[in-house]
Structure 1
Amino acid sequence: MSVTGILGKKIGMTQVFDEKGEVHPITVLQAGPCVITQLKTAARDGYDAAQIGLVEFVKAHKVTKPQAGHFAKSDVAPVRLIKEVSVETVKPGADAAEGEVESNGHVKAGDRVLVDIFSDEKYVDVIGTSKGRGFAGVVRRHNFGGGPKSHGHMFQVQGSIGASSFPSRVLPKTRMPGHMGVDRITVRNLRIRGIDLEENLIMVEGAVPGPRDGYVLISKAKAPPRERRGFAGSGTVDPLKASKKAAGKKK
């Protein structure tokens, strides 16, 4: 499968122990199952991508007629959530003729996307929507220090925001109270700590934005970190041990 991402849900957080006995906080994600509802090609659409949908039960009256026709074209059941992800194209194929099933390399409309696409990966990028915090002040929203906490003072008031006689206005992007949360947040390079192929679960080290049962987009890491020398496994050379060993041979 050449699809680079999958839709899922945030289940919650827990912790696991590695073979050295060290504890790691992890987030459990329900990755899919998803289905490819449409393929975008460079020849027709200007770019290569796959439109995937999260397979969940959707009531019939929740699906509009344009959506029903869109799903029927690819012969897939209605899905709740649709997103576009990039594909790893092997060779640019020709456009599918009208009425034929679309294909792009190893994928085609109607194929299922499962968590096994991350079997050979070490890191993933996760995109989610942060929790809504409502209307928040500057202390909570921007981590301001606040004013004096003695009697008679308003601790969480930000203070002056003007600029005197010039320019006599509030400058753009001034940090002020306002709506907090419900932002699209991308967390990059989360290490994969385990994959359950039967239940379509993936465990990543660290926190993921959003509440429990919140929808997330999991994709292969675009810029994974480089393994440092001496820390990538038993096959690498530890510089300190190598220098001591060389010094011992010289004697």
Structure 2
Amino acid sequence: MPPKTPLNWGLLPPPFLLPSSTRCLLQQNAPQRSRPAIAYTSVRTIKSTFKPKPDRFAHHPSKPALNSTSRAALERKAHSTPLRTGLLALKKGMTAVYDPETGKRAACTVLQLDRNEVVAHKRRDANGYWAVQMGAGQKEARNVGRPMLGHFAGAGVSPKRWVAEFKVRDEAGLQVAVGESVGANWFTPGQWVDIKAISRGMGFAGGMKRHGFSGQPASHGQSLMHRGMGSAGGSQGSGSRVLPGKRMPGKMGNESVTVKNLKVLQIDEPNGILVVNGCVPGPKNQIIRVQDARGKPWPEGPMSTAQLAPAEILVNPDGADVATTTASS
């Protein structure tokens, strides 16, 4: 229905409908205007009784909203960004060690570091963040593309099988120069680390194995549905549909998993061995990322290779080298 024309109550009719005497009086008493008057029609609205909502990017309604710039985002994450780079390692398997103080037997995982070298640095002015690009392993040059061959040649390192980035808080985390090698003595026994890897793939799994469902009753009268998940959704109450996010059978595993706060038990610098307490995601020979734990105080470890403990070489009286150990071990 089209809007109705507002009625201008109290206004005189058009001049051509008025008598001549009345028109003369109106012309004498009318003020001098440069433009014709425009009738104003007020708009009636409803005044809101709700208070303005606080900004959803503010920590508290009384505090100002956070900035949406990239620099402000880095400042918000600074408290949980590691001070130094992490390393790439291979999961070799699980074993057990005894605590010499308590005598308790603890399960542990053996990790091996394979030729970790710094490939590149990512800087705030050029890339938008601070990070160290680390490469590990070995790969034949004929199996590497030309862009990556040039990337490795510019860093002065051999072609790597795995390349990963480790974000650091600021420029102080880039003290490890490009091309330098980092070993197991980068970590110290007793410190805490976070490990991130791809979990072992289970394939298609049912609801009982994937989500821990109890299954259907095993009593009399139940047939062929002992391990079924049962009803997936209600009728009228939930809109006659299956709600999004419903836990159902599907592919299990083969996803990124992070295990936090694992304690470093032992290190073996000559062999590149790192022993951590507990289990690590992924199958054997799975590549994993090891970095300082974010939920614990930052360790007082080395920030550059120059601060690493030098290796001590034990020499026989005859002059032959016997063994190579590190000062930390």
In the superposition, the TM-score normalised over structure 1's length comes to: 0.79
Deviation at 1:111, TM superposition (A): 1.1
Alignment CA distance shift 1:197-1:88 (3 Å): farther
Please state if 1:161 is matched with 2:232: yes
One-letter identity of the residue aligned with 2:152? F
Structure number with greater Rg is 2
Determine the structure 1 residue equivalent to 2:107: 25
Q: Could you give the per-residue CA deviations for residues 153-195 of structure 1, whole angstroms, max 9, x where no partner exists?
A: 4111111112203412111110000000101000011011111
Equivalence for 1:152: 223
Pick which of 206-215 and 121-130 moved more.
Answer: 121-130
Identity rate, percent: 38
Q: State the alpha-carbon separation in 2 of the partners of residues 48 and 157 from structure 1.
A: 49
Q: Which residue of 2 aligns with 1:113?
A: 182
* Distance in 1 (alpha carbons) for counterparts of 2:174 and 2:297: 28
Q: Is residue 145 of structure 2 the alignment partner of residue 64 of structure 1?
A: yes
Which residue in 2 is equivalent to 1:187?
A: 259
The aligned counterpart of 1:53 is 135
Q: Is 1:197 paired with 2:269?
A: yes
Distance in 2, matches of 1:24 and 1:15, equals: 6
Spell out, residue by residue over 1:93-125, the C-alpha distance to the aligned partner (whole angstroms, 9 max, x if none).
xxxxxxxxxxx7522211112121112761111
RMSD of aligned Cα (Å): 2.0
Quote the Cα distance in structure 1 between the aligned partners of 2:267 and 2:125: 36
Q: Which one has a larger percent strand, Structure 1 or Structure 2?
A: 1
Aligned partner of residue 241 in structure 2, secondary structure: coil
Aligned residues: 212
- SS of aligned partner of 2:125: helix
- Provide, for residues 29-71 of structure 1, a one-character-per-residue CA deviation record: whole Å limited to 9, x for no partner: 1123211111001121111111001132x12332011111111
Structure 2: gaps of 5 or more residues? 1-82, 299-329
What are structure 1's unaligned runs of at least 5 residues? 92-103, 227-251
- State the 1:198 CA deviation: 0.9
Q: TM-score, normalised by structure 2?
A: 0.61
Instruction: Tell whether the 8 Å contact from 1:32 to 1:115 is kept in structure 2 after alignment.
Output: no
**Aligned AA (1:42):** R
2:295 aligns with: 223
Match of 1:37 among 119, 129, 151: 119
- Report the counterpart of residue 140 of structure 1 in structure 2: 209
Structure-2 separation of matches of 1:167 and 1:186? 37
- Letter matched to residue 76 of structure 1: V
CA distance in 2, matches of 1:5, 1:21: 31
Q: Which has the higher contact order (CA 8 A, sep 6+)?
A: 1
Amino acid at match of 2:256: R
Matched-pair contact (CA < 8 Å) for 1:8–1:29? yes
